[in-house]
Amino acid sequence: MNIIPLQPHYQYRLWGGDRLKRFGFCFDEASIGEAWTASALTQGSSIVTAGPYAGTTLSELYDTHRELFGIDAPEFPLLIKWIDPNDDLSIQVHPDDELAQSLEHQPYGKNECWYILDAPEGGEIIYGHTFESKETLQQALETGNVMSGLIRKPVSRGDFLYVPAGTVHALTKDVSVLEIQQSSDTTYRLYDYGRTEPTTGHTRDLHVNQGTRAAFAPHLDYVEPVLSLDHFRTQLTRNRYFFVEKWTIEREESVSTDTFRLLSVVEGTLEMDGLFFGMGATLLLPAHQSFHLDGTAVCLVTGVSSPTKQKARIGIDLGGTNTRVAIVSTDGHVEKQYKFKTQPHLELDTLLNQIKLAVERFQLEYDITHVGIAAPGPLDLKRGAFLTPPNLPNWHHQVIVEPLRSLLRLPVTLENDANAAALAEAKFGAGRHVDSVFYVTVSTGIGGGFVYKQNLISGAHGSAGEVGNMIIRTDGPAHPTLNVGALETHASGTALHERARTKGMTDSMTLLTDEIERSTFVEDLATGLANIIHTVDPDVIILGGGVTASAPLYWNQLQDAVAMRVYPHLRGATPLVLQQLHGDAGVIGAAFLA
């Protein structure tokens, strides 16, 4: 028998109950909140239930049979819990490795993730907060006002969330999860609703000082795309501490391990080595062995990631509302990202420090070679500075590249956001098969970028592709910085929105259902696009930005209108296509600026 089945340890919690039984667990005690199905912690180690190691605890097994694991960490690194809250959990945060080592003398911090096993209709958990700094978070905690600043995230069955150490969070009543994490039980409670522990009559300890030290403030929202690995496996996360895969088994599958895996059955039944396992079961699959799985089941499988750091680039998309700091692989995929609210009313240093925090987090697992920033223009690329971007008035004329370079000690490059998106689409998106690509974004404003043979043509003053200010008419609304008759004053989302408002309509999409308005918009945009074709004659024009969400309303009409405005030999010769990278184009392009 190759597999090593484990018996859970049940943990009392103030907010516990007896509903873990519905996941197949059996216990007699009251108020059980957690079943630790794979644990090597001394306060509750799992025990092997069958096979040659039956009766051994997981920690003993790890100490005496290291060959079964294929890793050499001094202590078993993972912990798996099933959690079923019968009440809200405390508002809390966990330390990372560094803080756990310095404050708790423990080897591991507590980066964790949740697979939602069950959630009530409209269920929400707490994930993040809106406080601008550690000081304002601490003040809110001291004055009892923390709840109003917490972010609630809707969740439903099957969702997966990675909760990096430092994230202020809380599970809530009736949201049950399978929790996979580093081997640590250190929780810093920030707020506990003033509840008392029935067993002692006392409130539980709070850890406001340690907690505010550990907390991200402002909050960094973590996003990682799910990756399909093969016909039955998807990767839910892969980080420095562990990876988690979801295996959907519909028939027989064979797998083999390099290092050990922990497999938890979350749905259905699985047969392995002649034994049947249902929901709630957790098995250790030892290293360097092959396994045969049979049945219909969904399993979450975890293991330890390789410690070698991959080379990667960081792309930053600095917007008026949100800033995103992303790891972009050498083949142009966003691997993971932190997102936070841009706070343009605060000092630029606040933004730089937030970026630094995110970059440092990524540096723990990646060898970062370059950082690129995509920001709204106008910019002074030579000085690496903002000029007068309308949505960032406090930072006008401030230099961003040099301070970030000295803060990060990494090469940093700045570029206009539309140019960065153009580069991304040309290298990895809708323009990847051709040489010359003109990208036009039609959103709040209108911007553009020209890429030739994968090189961004920025122009002598960094302003190539600024097609928003291209004059397409002799009339039009006045604008503080744009020409009368500029494309942007006629065809941007803002222009459409303004026209919709004067007609008593709610949005630009509704405006474009009006035949006359649609024709006006199409003719204006087509004039701009025809001018571009006559200027650089690109292989393709890629259109992106929010207004392209209504493209089905005007697409054919736009192509005809462009054809009518170009030389006969160019008619239909320049395909108009929609962007492919959507919200990721900014960070991907930024990452490839140098």
Ligand X SMILES: O=P(O)(O)OC[C@H]1O[C@@H](O)[C@@H](O)[C@@H](O)[C@@H]1O
Piece of 89-97, 340-348, 356-364, 581-589 that binds ligand X (CB under 6 A): 89-97
C-beta of residue 168 within 8 angstroms of C-beta of residue 93: yes
Instruction: Report residue 447 as tokens.
Output: 């911007």
Paired residues of 508 in beta bridges: none
Piece of 86-94, 277-285, 405-413, 520-528 that binds ligand X (CB under 6 A): 86-94
Shortest Å distance, C-beta 179 to ligand X? 6
Shortest Å distance, C-beta 90 to ligand X? 3
Q: Give the residue, chosen from 56, 78, 81, 499, that forms a contact with ligand X under the rule CB under 6 A.
A: 81
Q: Which is nearer to ligand X, 144 or 307 (CB)?
A: 144
Shortest Å distance, C-beta 154 to ligand X? 18
Q: How long, in residues, is the chain?
A: 594
What is the per-residue binding string for ligand X in 12-41, x denoting contact by CB under 6 A?
A: -x-x--------------------------
Q: Which is nearer to ligand X, 194 or 307 (CB)?
A: 194
Q: Is 90 in the site for ligand X (CB under 6 A)?
A: yes
Q: Which amino acid is at 187?
A: T
Nearest of 331, 334, 337 to residue 428 by alpha carbon: 331
Burial of 567 (0-12, 13-18, 19+ CB in 10 A): exposed
Q: Name the residues annotated as catalytic.
A: 189
Contacts of residue 421, Cβ cutoff 8 Å, sequence gap at least 6 = 374, 439, 441, 449, 544, 579, 581, 585, 586, 589
Piece of 87-95, 292-300, 313-321, 353-361 that binds ligand X (CB under 6 A): 87-95
Q: Give the residue, chosen from 61, 80, 89, 368, that forms a contact with ligand X under the rule CB under 6 A.
A: 89
Piece of 52-60, 88-96, 450-458, 505-513 that binds ligand X (CB under 6 A): 88-96
Shortest Å distance, C-beta 236 to ligand X? 18
What is the per-residue binding string for ligand X in 38-77, x denoting contact by CB under 6 A?
A: ----------------------------------------
Please tell me the distance from the alpha carbon of residue 593 to that of residue 424, in angstroms, as a whole number: 9
Piece of 85-93, 146-154, 242-250, 305-313 that binds ligand X (CB under 6 A): 85-93
Nearest of 487, 488, 418 to residue 456 by alpha carbon: 418
How would you list the strands of the sheet with 540-544, edge to edge?
455-456, 446-452, 436-442, 540-544, 576-578
Q: Which is nearer to ligand X, 201 or 480 (CB)?
A: 201
Shortest Å distance, C-beta 15 to ligand X? 6
Please tell me the distance from the alpha carbon of residue 221 to that of residue 167, in angstroms, as a whole number: 8
C-beta of residue 164 within 8 angstroms of C-beta of residue 156: no
Q: Which amino acid is at 36?
A: W
Shortest Å distance, C-beta 303 to ligand X? 20
Shortest Å distance, C-beta 218 to ligand X? 21
What is the per-residue binding string for ligand X in 176-215, x denoting contact by CB under 6 A?
A: ---x-------x-x--------------------------
What is the per-residue binding string for ligand X in 106-125, x denoting contact by CB under 6 A?
A: ------x-------------
Site for ligand X in 140-179 (CB under 6 A): 171, 179
Shortest Å distance, C-beta 131 to ligand X? 19
Q: Is 84 in the site for ligand X (CB under 6 A)?
A: no
C-beta of residue 486 within 8 angstroms of C-beta of residue 468: yes
Question: With contacts defined by CB under 6 A, how many residues of the chain interact with ligand X?
Answer: 11
Q: Which is nearer to ligand X, 171 or 375 (CB)?
A: 171
Q: Is 86 in the site for ligand X (CB under 6 A)?
A: no
Q: Closest-CB residue for ligand X?
A: 90
* Residue 443, SS3 per DSSP: coil
Piece of 84-92, 292-300, 454-462, 570-578 that binds ligand X (CB under 6 A): 84-92
Instruction: Report residue 472 as tokens.
Output: 């397409």
CA 456 to chain centre: 27
Please tell me the distance from the alpha carbon of residue 570 to that of residue 407, in angstroms, as a whole number: 50
Q: How far is CA 287 from CA 51, 247, 303, in A?
A: 16, 18, 10
C-beta of residue 497 within 8 angstroms of C-beta of residue 508: yes
* Residue 140, SS3 per DSSP: helix
Please tell me the distance from the alpha carbon of residue 295 to that of residue 274, in angstroms, as a whole number: 12
Q: Which is nearer to ligand X, 173 or 356 (CB)?
A: 173
Nearest of 585, 559, 558, 584 to residue 572 by alpha carbon: 559
Please tell me the distance from the alpha carbon of residue 73 to that of residue 71, in angstroms, as a whole number: 6
Using CB under 6 A as the criterion, which residues of the chain lie in contact with ligand X when the complex forms? Answer: 13, 15, 81, 89-90, 92, 112, 171, 179, 187, 189
